[in-house]
Amino acid sequence: MGRKKTMIHTILLSVFLFTTDGMAALPAVVNGQPLPSLADMLEKVVVSVVNITTSTRIRTVEHPLLSDPFFSRFFNLPQMEREKTQQSLGSGVIVDASRGLVITNYHVIQKADTIAVTLRNGATLQGKRVGLDRETDIGLIQIPPEGLKAATLGDSDALRVGDFVVAIGNPFGLGQTVTSGIVSALGRKGLGIEGYEDFIQTDASINPGNSGGALVNLRGELIGINTAILAQGGGNVGIGFAIPINMAQRIIKQLIDFGEVRRGLLGISSQDLTRDLANAFGSSQLHGAVITRVIPGSSAEKAGLRPGDVILSANGRPIQDSASLRNLIGLALVGERIQMELLRDGKRRQITAEVTEPMIQRIDGKRIDPRFQGAVLEKKEDGQQVEPIIVIGVKPESSAWQAGLREGDRILSVNRQTVGSFEELSAVVQKNKQEMLLNIQRGQEGFFILVR
């Protein structure tokens, strides 16, 4: 009988966690035994989760033809520009009650002119941005600190696949909603959603409006910030992702201190350790990152790192692949020392390198080509990925201005070739002096400019 009772209780727990809302009418007690419930835990947690409404002012034109200055002047039409307000919804989590700090997603508050934060008790407060980090999709806002309760932070590094989790947010603007599931996978990378990816994957329902909400364990500890849905139409299909709270905490600290994340430089490029490469480097390990390049003069070179070194762990954490190493370096503070265990010539070694300020090069555009006259170009070198050359200034009416370049433009390619340095840019331009086909990214838009 005791075994049967255990089986019945297990089945009832599964029914509670994973059936539809239609089962909510189950009695609280069956045969004198209380059913398992998350209600007590949730009562302590939901007060820390907030709903976020943002407003963004957008200037529009009444008719498409009116946006053409020639058409307007020719017909002597008045300007018909109008301003409309676009609203969007999201969620957030109070992480510091004494200072009124609320963590959410970058994409929730990125373009907001005003931010309204609604607490669990229905009170609506005005929020202000503290800082944003696009690369991890994290934003931090501040609200008046009176009467707030912060979430208890957990340890996302202690999570295991199969752990029960609960997602809390504001899906579809319906108000605060709770869904449950399990951790489906850990360390998800390479999805192209964010610059630095180390996601917790869960089958707890995450829908539009849940962004920035809480992912908690069954103790009610915050272990992740809901950020993305992997579905073509944007709806939930059983696959959602959350930013681990341990990663988020490092970002929060920098946003508080600087209002931005100041990523440093180690000075290496790397690739995944494949089975063939492991055999070539004499490694019995099938995880790690192989150094492919060391930037001259960087801290990596000074520490003694070489191309061909296989990084096995860093600061005591196993390095699974090049993305793991990039995440660790990208989240490190300038001045932080990274202790690495590596394999070289079949032998294990310990090397410590310091994270330093990124190397930034600037050049007057006319030194590359007369058609760039009037532009100042900048190249940031971090060794981990190819950063585009950026136009940081253009003099009005200069050759570069007349060619169509503007401040903030990112040069993605020239004559259909990616250029990762000023030397490469100059070499590509010299091959064809008659014309340059520039692929430019300006804000969220990309286009080509033909310069003769």
Q: Known catalytic residues?
A: 107, 137, 211
User: Which 8-state DSSP code applies to residue 171?
Assistant: G
52 φ/ψ angles, rounded to the nearest 5 degrees: -120, 130
Question: Is residue 273 within 8 Å of residue 319, measured between CB atoms?
Answer: no
244: Cβ contacts below 8 Å, ≥ 6 apart: 156, 157, 159, 198, 199, 200, 223, 224
User: Which 8-state DSSP code applies to residue 153?
Assistant: B
Question: Is residue 420 within 8 Å of residue 410, measured between CB atoms?
Answer: no
Report CA torsion sign: 166, 167, 172, 177.
positive
Amino acid identity of 19? T
Amino acid identity of 95? V
**Token match 């609200």: residue?**
143
**Token match 């136009």: residue?**
391
Instruction: Tell me the residue ranges of DSSP E strands in 189-221.
Output: 199-202, 214-217
348 φ/ψ angles, rounded to the nearest 5 degrees: -85, 140
**DSSP string of 236-249, one letter each residue:** -SS-EEEEEHHHHH
CA distance 92 to 213: 5
Instruction: Tell me the residue ranges of DSSP E strands in 111-267.
Output: 114-118, 124-133, 138-142, 164-169, 177-188, 199-202, 214-217, 222-229, 240-244
368 φ/ψ angles, rounded to the nearest 5 degrees: -85, -50
Smallest Cα–Cα separation from 157: which of 244, 219, 93, 226? 244
